[in-house]
Chains A and B, each alone.
Chain A
C-alpha cells in the first residue's frame, strides 16, 4: 500500500506571508497531483507533475516534484484570503495502479486579511 504523508495538517497565516506544504512518501509515483477543495465541493486539479525534479508555476503557486519522485511540495508566495481552502496531494502509481490515486490527509489553509 502506498502512503502519502502531507504536512502540516493545518496552516493559519496572515495575508502576504509565504507558505509551503509538503507531501512525502517512501513509494515512487508515476505522477503527483495537487488539488484544491472548497467546502461543499469536490477537489479541483491544480497541477500534475510527472518528471523527477520538475517545477511548475501557476501564478503565485510553485509546485515541485522530488528527484526520486517520492515527494512534492507546494509553495505559495504572498498568500491571499482567496487562497483559503483544503489542499490535497495525490500520487498515481504505475503499472496496474494507473489512474488510482493515493491521497495525502490534506492541509487546511486559512489566510487572514
Chain B
C-alpha cells in the first residue's frame, strides 16, 4: 500500500456537470500524476505535478484541469463532463521524476451519462 487514496471511487454523473476527483497521498512524494485507462489504450497521462502549484499537461489534457495547493493533494476537474470522459482514472505518485518507482492508486470509476 503506497499511501494513496482516491475519492470518489465510483461516480455516475450527467453530461455537462462539473466533476472533481481527489488524490491524497501520505508519502510526501513530490510528483503526482493523473492517468486515464480505456480499453485498447493502456494508460494515458492527463496532467502531472512536480510540486505545489507546479503542474503541466500530459497527452490527453483537453477538457481537464488540475490543482495542487498542498503536497498531499492533487485534484482533477472535469469542467463540463462528456461521455467520452467515461473512464477509469488513476492517480500516481513518485519521489522524483526520473527512473523512480511510480505507485498507483486504486482508481476512480467515472461514468458520464
Contact = CB atoms under 8 A, between A and B. Distances in A.
Interface string B84-113: 000000101010111111111111000000
> Which bracket fits the contact residues of A?
20 to 34
B42 A100 contact: no
A30 B98 contact: yes
B74 interface: no
Contact of A30 (B33, B99, B105): B99
B70 interface: no
Among the interface residues A43, A44, A45, which one has the most CB atoms of the partner chain B within 10 A? Answer: A43
Nearest to B6: A42
Interface stretch (A60-68, A73-81, A102-110): A102-110
A42 B105 contact: yes
Interface stretch (B14-22, B43-51, B61-69, B75-83): B43-51
Contact of B42 (A31, A33, A45, A104): A104
Given A42-B106, A42-B107, A31 B43 contact: no
A101 interface: yes
B104 A99 contact: no
Nearest to A2: B59
Given A42-B90, A48-B101, A105-B41, A99 B106 contact: no
Interface in A19-41: 30-31, 33, 40-41
B107 A40 contact: yes
Given A40-B107, A42-B92, 7 more contacts: A6-B42, A42-B90, A50-B99, A98-B98, A102-B45, A103-B42, A104-B42
Interface of B: 31, 33, 35, 40-45, 48, 50, 58-59, 90, 92, 94, 96-107
Interface of A: 1, 4, 6, 9, 30-31, 33, 40-45, 48, 50, 88, 90, 92, 98-106
